[in-house]
C-alpha cells in the first residue's frame, strides 16, 4: 500500500457531533484557555507587585539557582538530624542541574526513614507495618481477581515492593542486633 | 487536627497535628471537606520524589471552607466554600504575569524548575497538603475560587487538578479538526484528556493502558477506542497499523514516572530510583506519533534524568509540549463545559474513604484493587 497524503479513515465531523457531547465546542484553537501560552491580559486577584516577605523563623534551605529566598515558602518538616545535614549539603553545594543534588536528596530521604523508625520507637509510637501499609485493604477488595488473569504488566515486579517496604526497617534492626552483639 | 502523614515508601498513617497557622498575611486556613488521592501522589508514596520528608502531609487536590484569613486577604472570608488549584502561585512574578501560574518563581525555594504544589515534597516548596482536616493556603487572594452554588462538590474537587490537567494536556496537543489523538494512560488525567480531545475536534481518540477495567472506562466515559498494550506484540507497530502506517497526529503522555511495559525501565526508575521517571509511555509516544506530530506530556516525572529516545524525536521533527497545568486558567471554560453537560467529572470517582482509613486508600489505589480509578477522601 503506498503512503498517500490522504487523512486516515475517520468518522465525519457530523457523525462525531451527533455521538459525543460537546464535540468540537473548542474547535477554535485561538479560543482555548491556554492559547496563546503566554498572556499578559489575565487578572489574578493579586494586589501586590511583589508578595510581602514571609518571616524566616529558622534558616530555610534553598536552591543555589535562586538569587534569594523567595518571599513565600513551605515550613513543614524542617531540616533536622543526619538527613538534614545531607539535604543541606545537597542544596548548598550542587545546583538542580547536577545529578549529585538529586541523588543526595534521595539519600537524605532514606536516612530520614531510618531515623524516623528509631525516633518512633523512642517516642513510644513505633511504626506499624500492618496499618501503615494499608495492607488491610486487600480484605474484601478482590486481591486475587484484581491482579491475576488480567494481563497486568505491574504484576511482574510487585514482588519487589515488600523489599522496599521492609528494607529500611530491616537495616535498622540488623544494625541494632549487630551493635548489641558487639557489646 | 487529623492529618495524613508520610512515614516512608509505601507507608502513611493518620496523626494528630497542630492546626496550621497564618504564616504570611496573604494566607488562609481552609477546613478541608473533600480531598483526593492523585496518581502523582503515588510517586511520592513510592518514594520516587527527591526530598520527600517524613512527617509531610500529601494532597494537592482538595476543596473546603475558609476557616481563617490573614490580615491582607481581601477576596475571601471565613465560611466561603472554596476550591483550591493544586498550584501555589503569586500572580505577579515574571511567569505568573504571563499566565504561567504553574511556573511561579516566588513560592518554591527548593527548586527553580518547578513551582509550588501543595503536599508534593520539598522539591515543590515544602508545603503540607490537603489530606488533612485543615491546610494552609498561601496567597489566598490568587489561588482559590468560591465554588458556585450549582456545582457539585465532587466536580469542584476534580477541577483542582485531574480535570484541569487532562484538559490542559489536550490543549498542549494543539489538536485540529479530524486529528487522530492517542492517549497513553487511562487513569483520571488520561480519561479527562481523551474526553477533552473530542471537545477540540479530534477525529479519533485511542487510549492505551494495561488495565482492562480502566480501558472499559475509557470506552464508556471518554468514547474512545482502546488498546491493551499487553495484548499486542508491539504497541508502536499496532498504532502504526491503525493509522495507515503514518502514526497519530497527536500523542498525549498521561502516565509519567511509573510507566510500565518495559521491566528494565520501570525497575531502574520506580524501584531503584536511578531515573527521574520511567519514560516508557513517553518513548512509545515519540515513536507512535507521526513525523512532525505533537507529543504532549502531562504525566509527572521527577527531576533526575530519564532515558528518553530523543534522537527519534529530533529526526521526526516533533513538537514536544509540556507543563504542569495552570489549573485556574482552565476553570472558566471547564465550568462552561460542566454546566453545558459536555463534561461530568465526578463520573470517574470509584472510591470514597474517610481520612482515618487513608492508608488503605493509598494501598487500594497503588495496587489497583477493586477496579480503583479515583479515590476521594472525606473528612466529615
pLDDT tens digits along A95-153: 999 999 999 999 999 999 999 999 999 998 999 999 999 999 999 999 999 998 888 88
Query: Do B138 and B225 sit in the same domain of this protein?
Result: no
For chain A positions 57-116, those within 8 Å of chain B (CB to CB) are: 60-63, 65-66, 69-77, 83, 87, 91, 96, 99, 102-103, 105-106, 108-109, 112-113, 115-116
Q: Do A1 and B245 touch (CB under 8 A)?
A: yes
B127 in the same domain as B12: yes
Residues B204, B66 share a domain: no
| CATH number, domain containing residue B280 | 3.40.50.720
Q: Do B232 and B296 lie in a common domain?
A: yes
Q: Is residue B231 a contact partner of residue B209, using CB atoms and an 8 Å limit?
A: no
Beta carbons of B348 and B221 less than 8 angstroms apart:
yes
Q: Hey, are the CB atoms on A132 and B359 less than 8 Å from each other? A: yes
Contact B133, B34 (CB under 8 A): no
CATH number of B31's domain: 3.90.180.10
Smallest CA–CA distance, residue A107 to chain B, in Å, is: 9
Q: What is the pLDDT of residues B194-239, one digit of tens each?
A: 999 999 999 999 999 999 999 999 999 999 999 999 999 999 999 9
Q: Which of B322, B342, B365 is the last residue of a domain?
A: B322
CB B178 within 8 A of CB A13: yes
Q: What is the pLDDT of residues B136-180, one digit of tens each?
A: 999 999 999 999 999 999 999 999 999 999 999 999 999 999 999
Count of other CB atoms within 10 angstroms of residue A69: 15
A177 min Cα distance to partner chain B (Å): 22
Q: Which domain holds residue B242?
A: 166-322
Evaluate if residue A2 carries a pLDDT over 70: no
Instruction: Write out chain A residues lying below 8 Å of B359, CB-based.
Output: 131-134, 137
8 Å CB contact of A52 and B72: yes
Same domain, B179 and B281: yes
pTM: 0.95
B243 and B221 together in one domain: yes
Based on the domain organization, do B215 and B257 belong to the same domain? yes
CB contact under 8 A, A22 and B199: yes
ipTM for the whole complex: 0.95
- B135 and B117 co-located in one domain: yes
Amino acid at each position: 500500500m503506498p503512503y498517500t497524503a490522504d487523512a486516515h479513515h475517520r468518522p465525519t465531523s457530523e457523525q462525531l457531533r451527533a455521538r459525543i457531547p460537546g464535540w468540537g465546542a473548542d474547535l477554535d484553537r485561538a479560543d482555548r484557555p491556554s492559547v496563546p501560552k503566554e498572556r499578559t491580559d489575565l487578572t489574578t486577584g493579586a494586589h501586590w507587585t511583589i508578595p510581602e516577605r514571609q518571616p524566616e523563623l529558622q534558616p530555610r534551605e534553598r536552591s543555589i539557582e535562586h538569587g534569594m529566598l523567595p518571599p513565600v515558602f513551605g515550613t513543614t518538616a524542617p531540616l533536622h538530624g543526619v538527613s538534614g545535614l545531607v539535604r543541606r549539603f545537597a542544596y548548598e553545594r550542587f545546583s538542580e542541574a547536577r545529578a549529585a543534588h538529586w541523588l543526595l536528596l534521595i539519600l537524605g530521604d532514606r536516612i530520614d526513614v531510618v531515623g524516623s523508625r528509631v525516633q518512633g520507637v523512642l517516642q513510644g509510637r513505633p511504626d506499624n507495618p500492618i496499618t501503615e501499609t494499608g495492607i488491610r485493604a486487600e480484605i474484601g477488595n478482590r486481591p486475587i481477581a484484581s491482579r491475576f488473569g488480567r494481563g497486568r504488566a505491574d504484576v511482574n515486579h510487585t514482588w519487589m515492593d515488600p523489599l522496599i517496604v521492609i528494607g529500611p526497617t530491616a537495616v535498622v534492626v540488623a544494625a541494632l542486633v549487630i551493635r548489641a552483639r558487639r557489646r | 487536627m487529623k492529618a495524613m502523614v508520610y512515614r516512608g515508601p509505601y507507608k502513611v498513617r493518620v496523626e494528630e497535628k497542630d492546626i496550621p497557622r497564618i504564616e504570611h498575611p496573604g494566607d488562609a486556613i481552609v477546613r478541608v471537606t473533600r480531598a483526593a488521592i492523585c496518581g502523582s501522589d503515588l510517586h511520592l508514596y513510592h518514594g520516587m520524589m527527591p526530598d520527600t520528608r517524613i512527617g509531610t502531609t500529601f494532597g494537592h487536590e482538595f476543596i473546603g471552607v475558609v476557616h481563617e484569613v490573614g490580615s491582607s486577604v481581601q477576596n475571601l472570608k471565613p465560611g466561603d466554600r472554596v476550591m483550591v488549584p493544586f498550584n501555589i502561585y503569586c500572580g505577579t512574578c515574571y511567569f505568573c504575569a504571563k499566565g504561567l501560574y504553574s511556573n511561579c518563581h516566588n513560592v518554591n525555594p527548593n527548586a527553580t524548575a518547578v513551582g509550588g504544589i501543595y503536599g508534593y515534597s520539598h522539591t515543590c516548596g515544602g508545603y503540607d497538603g490537603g489530606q488533612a482536616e485543615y491546610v494552609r493556603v498561601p496567597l489566598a487572594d490568587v489561588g482559590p475560587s468560591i465554588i458556585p452554588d450549582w456545582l457539585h462538590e465532587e466536580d469542584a474537587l476534580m477541577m483542582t487538578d485531574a480535570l484541569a490537567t487532562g484538559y490542559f494536556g489536550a490543549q498542549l496537543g494543539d489538536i485540529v479538526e479530524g486529528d487522530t489523538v492517542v492517549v497513553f494512560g487511562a487513569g483520571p488525567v488520561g480519561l479527562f484528556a481523551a474526553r477533552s480531545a473530542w471537545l477540540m475536534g479530534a477525529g479519533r481518540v485511542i487510549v492505551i493502558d494495561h488495565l482492562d477495567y480502566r480501558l472499559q472506562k475509557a470506552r464508556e466515559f471518554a468514547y474512545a477506542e482502546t488498546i491493551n498494550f499487553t495484548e499486542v506484540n508491539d504497541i508502536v507497530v499496532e498504532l502504526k497499523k491503525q493509522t495507515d502506517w503514518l502514526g497519530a497526529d497527536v500523542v498525549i503522555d498521561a502516565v509519567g514516572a511509573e510507566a510500565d511495559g518495559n521491566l528494565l525501565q520501570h525497575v531502574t526508575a520506580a524501584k531503584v530510583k536511578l531515573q527521574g521517571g520511567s519514560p516508557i509511555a513517553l518513548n512509545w509516544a515519540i515513536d507512535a506519533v507521526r513525523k512532525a506530530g505533537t507529543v504532549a506530556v502531562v504525566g509527572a516525572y521527577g527531576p533526575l534524568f530519564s532515558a528518553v529516545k530523543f534522537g527519534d524525536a529530533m529526526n521526526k521533527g516533533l513538537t514536544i509540549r509540556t507543563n504542569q497545568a495552570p489549573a485556574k486558567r482552565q476553570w472558566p471554560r471547564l465550568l462552561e463545559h460542566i454546566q453545558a453537560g459536555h463534561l461530568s467529572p465526578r463520573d470517574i470517582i470509584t472510591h470514597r474513604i474517610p481520612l482515618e482509613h487513608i492508608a488503605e486508600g493509598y494501598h487500594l489505589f497503588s495496587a489497583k484493587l477493586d477496579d480503583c480509578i479515583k479515590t476521594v477522601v472525606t473528612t466529615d
